[in-house]
Amino acid sequence: MYYQRHGRLPSKPFTKHTTEGGAELHEELLTSSGFEGPSSLIYRLRPATAINEITALPTVAVEEWPDGILTNRRLDLTSVSGEGDLVNGRTTLFYNDKFAYALCQVTDAGKRFYRNAWADELIMVISGSGVLNSSFGALQYGPLDLLYIPRGTAISLGDLDGPQSFAIVESQGPLSPPAHLRGISGQLSYLGMYQESDIRTPDFGGPLDDPSPHEIVVKQGNRHALHTVPAHPFDAVGWSGSLYPFAVNMANFNPMTSRLHTTPDLWQIFESNALAISAITPVRLPDHPDSTSAQPDHSADCDEIFHRLGRRSDNGRGVGSVTLHTRANPHGASLTFKKRTPPDRTSGYGLILDVFDPVVVSSAAVEADDPDYYRSWT
């Protein structure tokens, strides 16, 4: 994203930097796409490399549902149970070697920190509010927020208010705004769903100087390790760069419309080598006198995951439902939907993931599955 600078910084990168008292500070470079993508420099009281102990944690295997991919699926997410923190509160529903999609029910902020070393994460906040903490600062969040977290960033949650329900996307390739919606200078286009003015960045408050052991759960693919570090991981005195956590709220998105139905990629918000992500928000429907009542049926060269959020509640939305439309099966609106008199505008929210490599359905989806969903088009 765009360049930011906060806190105490040297005049140039890769030069000696000290505290006001003359103590040496330690520079850390956080990168993406090797060294070709966005990066940030973080200046710490202690080396980021300092680790007291690393312990492998038991692997909780995600089991495949072998028949899950054979037909289109609809999952009632109210049937997906889970509780815990950002790590053990997740229920993975779909995955492959490059991505994962999970429902996460957070009931406890936990005392351990969390860092995904394998993937960028995008968290859709379904309900609840709180603070996402990192070395970059504190980022307030609430319902309908999308929280982007670059890989390698240690985080924690705080000030939890209400039941916390998240949908979490992991992408092995770096997530970024779509290339076709960025100008030659990198500025976001006004034709896109959001612009820089919609992005909220962390509020940097300075270092947490706590020289006592702390624990970080580090995720590497489907394995986890516990890193015990000698001090608080949020000890940054300053940072600068273009790679950092940020939030955008889906209620602020500005979807483009047309006199006729468009394809969902017009509402794309992120892309990576693993998938394309589009947002569904309230939008005016086509007004052409001969417009069809719905988009055309379609057969795609990708697997489509569509998470439709439920009705609005006091602290957010209901978890809703998620459909998987496989590349083996055409999909589209039901006959009943096609025959309706459409309203002037829609009112729902959700995310659409077009996944490039074949999706694997986890066994956790079995109990939530509607076995008759694929018959709903007849």
DSSP classification of residue 66: T
How far apart CA 168 and CA 145 sit, in angstroms, is 12
More confident residue, 83 or 146: 146
Q: What's the pLDDT score for residue 148?
A: 97
The domain limits of the chain are 49-63+81-234+244-249, 252-377
CA contacts within 13 A on the Cβ side of 241: 21
More confident residue, 242 or 283: 242
Task: Tell me the per-residue pLDDT of 208-251, one tens digit each, with 9 for 90 and over.
Answer: 999 999 999 999 988 999 999 999 999 999 999 999 999 999 99
Q: What's the pLDDT score for residue 19?
A: 86
Task: Tell me the per-residue pLDDT of 6-50, one tens digit each, with 9 for 90 and over.
Answer: 999 999 999 999 988 888 999 999 998 888 889 999 999 999 999
How far apart CA 280 and CA 166 sit, in angstroms, is 16
Indicate if the pLDDT at residue 290 is higher than 70. Answer: no
In 232-349, beta strands by DSSP E? 236-241, 246-249, 268-271, 275-280, 303-308, 312-313, 316-317, 321-325
Residue 72 structure tokens: 């289109």
Is 94 in contact with 364 (CB distance < 8 Å)? no
Using pLDDT thresholds of 50, 70 and 90, give the confidence band for residue 110.
confident
**49-63+81-234+244-249 sits in which CATH class?**
mainly beta
Mean pLDDT of 143-151: 97
Residues paired with 117 in a beta bridge: none
State pTM to two decimals.
Answer: 0.94
CA contacts within 13 A on the Cβ side of 128: 24
Task: Tell me the per-residue pLDDT of 178-209, one tens digit each, with 9 for 90 and over.
Answer: 888 888 888 888 888 889 899 999 999 999 99
CATH 3.30.190 holds for 252-377: no
Using pLDDT thresholds of 50, 70 and 90, give the confidence band for residue 100.
very high
